[in-house]
């Protein structure tokens, strides 16, 4: 579905490939550390499936995004809330499936946690936004949990979809991979729980149903001491393309018309209410604000 970085995407030297990045800030009493799990190349034909090809190419050239691939980061938020250490998704992991799908510049979560002095068994909670490989690919390896002591949370709707067997043939490998990643949690009865819209999973971390990219995709509002931060996950795929053209949808949007409607509604809310965002696929660390620009939007990074 995706593609490893090549052609237009810059090559990383061996030394650069070993660089681990993180960015630390606070939302009230929540300490948030954004970890760069890596990046991958998103093919231009999938970036805006319902747009004229020449329009997409012209936009990418105008903003010097390359011509064949757009580079997307994979960010993971680690939230320290009191005695809780919460991971928002587990990133891509380092499996053969993930590397064939996304390339080799992925899977930096665990080494970065080590750099931060955080052991995998210290993570208390893992909250999945949805089932896609770059969001739960780091959950397990060879049948063993990466975060063995953590309670894991998955949207109820995502779980029902994964177990339904009513899967388009194109999605079968991705569904199979997600189920494989989650199987150790299923085997450990009680370690996988489910959530839905407006559920507060950890104090100050509340789910917001934002369907379309997948049936059960959720964003999250982080709140403390009157401060807010929205994690929109894949509602906002690219920091230029889908803000200038919210009506364009990507090839991995499972329900395209709903994905577009969800994006338009969330963009308007964030811009009008001036809610800071942490957009994990925007250039690292993905922290900033949105502002209206006619019928479009602009991203103003603050990180």
Q: Looking only at Cα atoms, what is the longest distance across the chain? A: 52
Average pLDDT rounded to a whole number, residues 205-214: 98
CATH architecture of 14-301: 4-Layer Sandwich (3.60)
- Among residues of the chain, what percentage have pLDDT more than 70? 93
Name the least confident of 15-19, 169-173, 207-211, 253-257: 15-19
Examine the pLDDT at 10 and tell me if it is beyond 50: no
Examine the pLDDT at 16 and tell me if it is beyond 70: no
pTM: 0.92
Residue 42's SS3 state is strand
Residue 220, class by beta-carbon neighbours within 10 Å (0-12 exposed, 13-18 middle, 19+ buried)?
buried
The whole-number pLDDT of residue 12 equals: 36
Spatial separation of the C-alpha atoms in residues 185 and 254, rounded to whole Å: 25
The whole-number pLDDT of residue 15 equals: 36
pLDDT band at residue 303, thresholds of 50, 70 and 90?
Answer: low
Examine the pLDDT at 9 and tell me if it is beyond 90: no
- Per residue in 34-48, pLDDT (tens digit) is 999 999 999 999 999
Pick from 244, 242, 245: nearest CA to 281: 242
pLDDT band at residue 82, thresholds of 50, 70 and 90?
Answer: very high
Examine the pLDDT at 253 and tell me if it is beyond 90: yes
The whole-number pLDDT of residue 165 equals: 84
The whole-number pLDDT of residue 8 equals: 33
CB 236 within 8 A of CB 282: yes
Average pLDDT rounded to a whole number, residues 272-290: 97
Pairing of strands 192-195, 296-301: unpaired
- Per residue in 95-148, pLDDT (tens digit) is 999 999 999 999 999 999 999 999 999 999 999 999 999 999 999 999 999 999
Examine the pLDDT at 66 and tell me if it is beyond 90: no
pLDDT band at residue 169, thresholds of 50, 70 and 90?
Answer: confident
Spatial separation of the C-alpha atoms in residues 164 and 178, rounded to whole Å: 13
Average pLDDT rounded to a whole number, residues 154-183: 93
Examine the pLDDT at 294 and tell me if it is beyond 70: yes
pLDDT band at residue 277, thresholds of 50, 70 and 90?
Answer: very high
């Amino acid at each position: 579905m995706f593609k490893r970085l090549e052609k237009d995407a810059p090559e990383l030297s061996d030394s650069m490939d070993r660089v681990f990045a993180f960015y630390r800030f606070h939302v009230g009493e929540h300490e948030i550390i954004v970890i760069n799990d890596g990046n991958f190349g998103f093919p231009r034909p999938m970036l805006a499936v319902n747009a004229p090809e020449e329009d997409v190419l012209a936009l990418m050239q105008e903003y010097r995004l390359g011509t064949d691939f757009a580079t997307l980061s994979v960010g993971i938020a680690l939230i320290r809330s009191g005695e809780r250490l919460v991971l928002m998704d587990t990133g891509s992991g380092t499996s053969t499936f993930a590397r064939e799908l996304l390339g080799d510049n992925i899977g930096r979560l665990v080494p970065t946690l080590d750099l931060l002095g955080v052991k995998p068994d210290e993570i208390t909670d893992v909250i999945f936004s949805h089932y896609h490989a770059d969001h739960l690919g780091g959950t397990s390896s060879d049948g063993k949990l990466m975060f063995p002591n953590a309670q894991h949370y998955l949207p109820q709707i995502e779980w029902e979809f994964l177990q339904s067997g009513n899967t388009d043939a194109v999605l079968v490998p991705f569904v199979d991979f997600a189920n494989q990643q989650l199987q150790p949690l299923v085997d450990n009865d009680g370690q996988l729980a489910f959530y839905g819209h407006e559920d507060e999973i950890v104090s100050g971390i509340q789910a917001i149903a934002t369907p379309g990219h997948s049936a059960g995709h959720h964003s999250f509002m982080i709140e403390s001491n009157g401060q807010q931060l929205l994690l929109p996950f894949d509602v906002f795929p690219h920091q230029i393309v889908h803000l200038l053209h919210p009506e364009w949808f990507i090839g991995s949007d499972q329900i395209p018309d709903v994905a577009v409607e969800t994006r338009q509604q969330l963009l308007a809310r964030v811009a009008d209410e001036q809610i800071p965002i942490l957009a994990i696929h925007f250039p690292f660390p993905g922290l900033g604000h949105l502002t209206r620009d006619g019928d479009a939007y602009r991203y103003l990074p603050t990180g």
